[in-house]
Amino acid sequence: MNSNRKARVTLENLLRFKRNEQPPAEFWQQFDRELRAKQLAAIVARRPWWTPLSRYAGLVSRFSLPLGAAAALAVALAGFHEYRVYAPAPQGVKGEEGVEASLPDATKVAESDSPATAVQEDHSKVAMASVGRGVAAVAVYNDTAKRAAATPVRMDARSLALDAGSEAVESPSSRSIAANLAAAQAAQPEVIRNLLGLSRSLDARMIPAVRARAEPLEHMSPPASERRSRLLGGVVPALATYSGDAPAPVSDRNVKDLSDDRLYQTISRYAEGGDYLSIKVKF
Amino acid sequence: MLDSLVFVLEALRIHGKTLVASPERLQEADEDWSIVRRVQEGDVAAFDRLTVKYRNRVYGVVYNLTSNREDAADLTQDAFIKAFQSIQRFQGQSSFFTWIYRIAINSTLSHLRKNRVRSFFSLEKIDSDEPVSRELIAALTDKTGADRETFARELQEKLNEAMQKLSIKHRTVVTLFEIDGLSHQEIAEVMNCSVGTVRSRLHYAKQLLQAELQPYLS
C-alpha cells in the first residue's frame, strides 16, 4: 500500500509542492507600505537628464544600420571637404603669375565707399583668397592717397604672399598670418604703416651704431706689433711717429722688406748714456 | 468563422508576438491595458490595482528563483517601481502581465549574477494543511503529524537546494513552467527566446532535478 503511494510521487508533484510556500498576510501589509514609500520616492526623486532620451533608444537601435551609415558618410564628406580646403595648390600655379591672378582686382575693390566697408566686403574675399590660393595680403582703399600711403605695407604683404607662394609647401598658419595682416592694415593703415616704417628707420639707425662699436676692436694692434714699431721706428721713418695714444700700425710687409744686412748697415752707431740712448742711422 | 477570425486578429493586435492566447488571458490583458492607460493619463492610484493583482505571482517567481524571502520582497518591489517609472513607454505590444514578469525576471537574473556565491536560504512556511501538500506528504511517509511537519521542512530545503544547483536560465524555466504554470509560448516571450529553447532547457533541468531528488521519487 505504501509502495503504491510512493510510486505516484513524481518530480512534477514535488515541484508543485513548492507552490504552497506562501508568505503570511502580515507580509503583504508590510510589502504594500514599503512599495508605497518607494513609489513616492520615485515620484519625488529627480530623474537624470538622459531619461527622456531613452525613449528614442529603441528607435535608434531599430535603425542603427542606416543611421550609422549616414553618420559615417557625413564624417567622410566633412573630412574630404576639409582636405580640399587645406590641400596645397599644384606646383605650376605657384609664383608671381599665380599670385597676381589670385589677388583681388584693386579697381573693382576701389569702388567701395569707405575703408571700413571695404574691409567688411573684402574680408571674405581676402579670406577666401588666402584659403584657396595661399595669398591674402591685399589692402583695399578707394582713396588714392591712402592707397599710396599704404603702398609699402601692401608691398610687404605682397612680398609676404610671394614668399609664401614661392615655397612649395604652405602652412595654414602662414595663410592665417597673411590674412590677419591684410585685415589689420585694411582696418588701421596708419598704425600699421607707422609701425613698419618705424621698424625700418630703427633698423637704419641701429646698423651704424653697431658698426661704430665694432671698429675699435678691429683697429686694435696686437702687442707684438707695438714692440716692432718701437724698435724699428728709427730705421723706418714711417714707423717713427709711433705714439702710445695712437699706435701706428706696422705691417708685416715693411718688416719683411727690411733685410738683416741692411738693418746692420744702416745702424752705424749705437751709444747709450746714463739717461739717453742714441742711434745713428745712414741713409 | 468570422468571429474566430476577428478573435485571432484581436489577439495579434493586443499581444503583438503572442500568437496563441486564451480568451481569459485576452480579457485580462484588455483590463490591464485600460488600467495602464489611466495610469499613463495621470491616475497614479490606479497602479495599485495592478500591484495587488500581480504581486503574489511576481513574488512567487522571484522567491523560487532566489530562495530568499527578503531578496524576493525587495526585487518584487523594485520590479513594480520600474514598471511604474516606465509606464509611459508601455505601448501594449505585450500584455502587462508579460511585461511585469519580464522586468521582474531580468532584475532577478541581474541580482543573481551579482551574488552567485550567496547560498543563504530564508524560506517561507509551507502550508501543510493545503490538500496537495497533505497528499504528497502522506504519500511519502506514514508518520505522525509532528513528524510530517519536520519531513515537510526537510523536503522544502531539499527542493530549494536542488533548484539552486540549476543554472539561472534552467531554474527560471522550471519555475515559470512547473510552479507558476506559464505555457511554453509565454515563457519564451518572457525570457525573449524561442519555444524550442524553452523546451530544451526544461527537459535538461528536469533531468538534473530528478537526479538530485531521486530519494524522494519512486
pLDDT tens digits, residue range A116-134? 444 444 444 444 444 444 3
Q: Are B153 and A23 in contact (CB under 8 A)?
A: no
Give the pLDDT of residue A18.
Answer: 80
pLDDT at A271 over 90: no
Q: Do B126 and A20 count as a contact with CB atoms less than 8 A apart?
A: yes
- Interatomic CA distance for residues A190 and A141, integer angstroms: 13
Query: A98: which 3 cell numbers?
Result: 599665380
Residues of A in contact with B127 (CB under 8 A): 20, 22
Q: pTM here?
A: 0.50
Give the pLDDT of residue B158.
Answer: 86
Query: A79: which 3 cell numbers?
Result: 573630412
Give the pLDDT of residue A179.
Answer: 85
Domains of chain B, start order:
1-124 (1.10.1740.10)
Give the pLDDT of residue B203.
Answer: 95
Region A147-167: mean pLDDT is 49
The larger pLDDT score, comparing residue B3 to residue A180, is at: A180
Residues of A in contact with B81 (CB under 8 A): 35, 38-39, 42
What confidence category does residue A72 fall into, taking pLDDT thresholds of 50, 70 and 90? very high
Give the pLDDT of residue A104.
Answer: 46
In chain B, alpha helices (H): 2-15, 23-40, 47-66, 69-85, 96-114, 131-140, 145-164, 168-174, 184-191, 195-212
Q: Do A31 and B213 count as a contact with CB atoms less than 8 A apart?
A: no
Residues of A in contact with B55 (CB under 8 A): 28, 31
Tell me the backbone φ, ψ of residue B125, rounded to 5 degrees: -80, 135
Residues of A in contact with B60 (CB under 8 A): 19, 21-22
- Cross-strand bridge partners of residue B68: B122
The larger pLDDT score, comparing residue B166 to residue A283, is at: B166
Q: Are A153 and A196 in contact (CB under 8 A)?
A: yes
pLDDT at A67 over 80: yes
CA angle (A136, A165, A152) in 5-degree steps: 55
- Interatomic CA distance for residues A29 and A43, integer angstroms: 21
In chain B the first and final C-alpha atoms are separated, in Å, by: 48
Q: What is the pLDDT of residues A205-233, one digit of tens each?
A: 555 555 555 566 666 777 777 777 777 76
Q: Are B190 and B101 in contact (CB under 8 A)?
A: yes
Closest-CA distance, B80 to chain A, in angstroms, reads 8
The list of chain B residues with pLDDT below 50 reads 1-3, 5-19
Q: Output the CA–CA distances (angstroms, integers) from residue B64 to B69, B76, B124, B172, B179, in the order listed.
A: 9, 12, 10, 8, 8
Any CB–CB contact under 8 A between A40 and chain B?
Answer: no
Tell me the backbone φ, ψ of residue A277, rounded to 5 degrees: -140, 125
Q: In chain B, which residue's Cα lies nearest the Cα of A19?
A: B179
Query: A103: which 3 cell numbers?
Result: 589677388
B55 closest CB neighbour out of A8, A31, A39 = A31
ipTM: 0.76
Residues of A in contact with B51 (CB under 8 A): 32, 35
Tell me the backbone φ, ψ of residue B166, rounded to 5 degrees: -80, 160
Q: Is B142 helix (H, G, I), strand (E, B) or coil?
A: coil
- Among A11, A30, A47, A53, most B C-beta atoms within 10 A, so best to mutate, is A11
> In which residue are the cell numbers 602662414 written?
A174
Give the pLDDT of residue B26.
Answer: 78
What confidence category does residue A171 fall into, taking pLDDT thresholds of 50, 70 and 90? confident
Region A273-281: mean pLDDT is 69
Q: In chain B, which residue's Cα lies nearest the Cα of A12?
A: B178
- Across chain A, what does the average pLDDT equal? 64
Query: A108: which 3 cell numbers?
Result: 573693382
In chain A the first and final C-alpha atoms are separated, in Å, by: 167
- Choose from A52-56, A84-88, B106-110, B118-122 the range with maximum mean pLDDT: B106-110
What confidence category does residue A137 fall into, taking pLDDT thresholds of 50, 70 and 90? very low
Residue B58 CB neighbours (<10 A):
26
Region A1-23: mean pLDDT is 70
